[in-house]
Structure 1
Amino acid sequence: MTYKITRTNRKTIAIYVRKDGAVEVRAPLRVSDKKIQEFVREKQDWITKTQNKIKEKVQNKQILSIEEKNKLIEKANEYIPNRVIALSKQLNFPVSKIKITSAKSYWGCCNIKNEVSFSWRLMLATAETIDYVIIHELVHTKHHNHSSKFWKEVEKIMPEYKACKEELKQIETMYEC
Structure 2
Amino acid sequence: MKPEYTLIRSSRKTLSLEITRDAAVVVRAPMRCPQREIDLFVAQREGWIRSALERQRSRIEQHPEPSDAQREQLIRRAKEILPERVAHYAGLMELHPTGITITGAVSRFGSCSPKNRLCFSWRLMQYPMRAVDYVVVHELAHIRHKNHGRDFYALVQSILPDYRERWQMLKD
Q: Shorter-chain TM-score: what band?
A: 0.7 to 0.9
SS of 1:116's equivalent in the other structure is strand
| Alignment-derived partner of residue 141 in structure 1 | 143
| Alignment-derived partner of residue 8 in structure 2 | 5
What is the percent sequence identity of the aligned residues?
32
Contact persistence 1:2–1:23 (CA under 8 A): yes
C-alpha separation in 2, matches of 1:136 and 1:38: 41
Contact persistence 1:6–1:24 (CA under 8 A): no
Gaps of 5+ in 1: 171-177
| Alignment-derived partner of residue 94 in structure 1 | 96
The Cα shift of 1:169 comes to: 1.9
Matched ranges for 1:9-24 at <5 A:
9-10=13-14, 13-24=15-26
Q: Quick one: which amino acid aligns to residue 23 of structure 1?
A: V
Larger RCO (CA under 8 A, 6+ residues apart): 1
| Alignment-derived partner of residue 118 in structure 2 | 116
* C-alpha distance 115-41 of structure 1, shift in aligned 2 (>3 A): same
Matched ranges for 1:10-159 at <5 A:
10=14, 13-27=15-29, 31-41=33-43, 43=45, 47=49, 50-51=52-53, 54-55=56-57, 57-59=59-61, 61=63, 64-159=66-161
Gaps of 5+ in 2: none
The Cα shift of 1:101 comes to: 0.9
Contact persistence 2:5–2:27 (CA under 8 A): no
TM-score, normalising length: structure 2: 0.80
Q: Quick one: which amino acid aligns to residue 67 of structure 2?
A: S
SS of 2:144's equivalent in the other structure is coil
Greater mean deviation of Cα atoms: 111-120 or 75-84 = 75-84
* C-alpha distance 128-46 of structure 1, shift in aligned 2 (>3 A): closer
| Alignment-derived partner of residue 171 in structure 2 | 169
* C-alpha distance 56-140 of structure 1, shift in aligned 2 (>3 A): closer
Contact persistence 2:19–2:52 (CA under 8 A): yes
* C-alpha distance 89-27 of structure 1, shift in aligned 2 (>3 A): same
